[in-house]
Structure 1
């Protein structure tokens, strides 16, 4: 007889481990991208990616994989509940871990200008020039605060004064980018919660089956 609850649990478990794979792929691809030389086309994205907690994302992915492995005994041994409970608790831990990551990125969006100012000030003039070229701006707040970097986009003070500071276009891009990141993190939490619910339903089903089995065994024994 087909166990629909078990099938639903397995489907959610596969989706769960897929989120772990996506996390580690994102982190490794980001690290590889950041290792490349900065260009005008990639400088904005690379500096924003550097704001993401990549090591924590890798740690979260590893925890997801370990949690998935704990579900294997629960799947291959239909009568067990112990492994299922452990897997459920570990899934909750993964959900909390991912939620903390998402919240940390969300908090970044609340202080975008401050954080981007720190990033700008840490960059060499060459990188600041790449940002000016890509965003068609001069200086951070404006052409004089801090002073702009002389390049093709900002060749002199007169041209620089006519352009906006980089903070406005940079903040817009940063907020849109980080919004997608933390929304993705909260989406993963949603899958974790769905798996926890599937685990709880399967636990209840197995508990009832064990109770009925015990009743049947008692009744069978009483007939002798």
Structure 2
């Protein structure tokens, strides 16, 4: 008969390591591509935000997830509770690490307007042109602060003065974009919490099995 507690633990363990693989793949791929020369305004805004993300922490977090997963293998294949306890403690640390990454991304959304201003003024006119075209705006706060880049969207000072600054559009785009990312990270913390609960349940069951085994040995009855 299948041990339902162990089966549930294995299922959550698989979900847990899949989470680590997703975080590692996302962090490595995006970190390598976000510095490419943009060809479109929304792509430029996205990649410039990506450059502010803690990808090194994400990679470290993913590696730690794999280490935790490796400690669960002997815990699954044997009835030894020591490995299971080690895995449980490491999952707690991993969950805190993931939560810190999520909070860091959430803090980014609280100051997006200022963050994008720092990004905007550091970009060459070609990138500012792409963002003005994509978001149909001129300048950052307005057409003169800082001064707009002359392009098809903002062909003259008079035309640019009639257009809104890019700060509102960029902040709105960034909020939605970063919200999706940190929500996914907080979802990973939820998986960590589920894994902690599954580990606690398996530990409790194994402790019960050990107690019954001790009773059987004392009474001379052979247990299963």
| TM-score, reference length from structure 1 | 0.95
**Equivalent residue number for residue 59 of structure 1:** 60
**Equivalent residue number for residue 219 of structure 1:** 219
Report the alpha carbon displacement of residue 111 of structure 1 after superposing the two structures with TM.
Answer: 1.0
Of the structure 1 ranges 181-190 and 32-41, higher mean CA displacement relative to structure 2 is found in 32-41
> How well do the aligned residues superpose, as a CA RMSD in angstroms?
1.1
Partner Cα distance (2:111, 2:67) in 1? 35
Is the 2:128–2:149 contact (alpha carbons within 8 Å) kept by the matching residues of 1? Answer: yes
Q: After superposition, where does 1:3-14 map in structure 2 within 5 Å?
A: 3-14=3-14
Partner Cα distance (2:51, 2:216) in 1? 61
**Equivalent residue number for residue 119 of structure 1:** 119
Of the structure 1 ranges 51-60 and 180-189, higher mean CA displacement relative to structure 2 is found in 51-60
Report the alpha carbon displacement of residue 32 of structure 1 after superposing the two structures with TM.
Answer: 3.1
Q: Give the match's secondary structure for 1:207.
A: helix
Q: After superposition, where does 1:29-178 map in structure 2 within 5 Å?
A: 29-41=29-41, 42-77=43-78, 79-178=79-178
Q: Give the match's secondary structure for 2:220.
A: helix
| TM-score, reference length from structure 2 | 0.95
Report the alpha carbon displacement of residue 219 of structure 1 after superposing the two structures with TM.
Answer: 0.9
Report the alpha carbon displacement of residue 51 of structure 1 after superposing the two structures with TM.
Answer: 2.2
Partner Cα distance (1:13, 1:181) in 2? 23
What is the number of residues matched between the two proteins? 220
Report the alpha carbon displacement of residue 210 of structure 1 after superposing the two structures with TM.
Answer: 0.3
Report the alpha carbon displacement of residue 33 of structure 1 after superposing the two structures with TM.
Answer: 2.5
Structure 1 gap ranges (5+) = none
**Equivalent residue number for residue 2 of structure 1:** 2
Structure 2 gap ranges (5+) = none
Which of structure 1's runs of 4+ aligned residues deviate more than 4 A? none
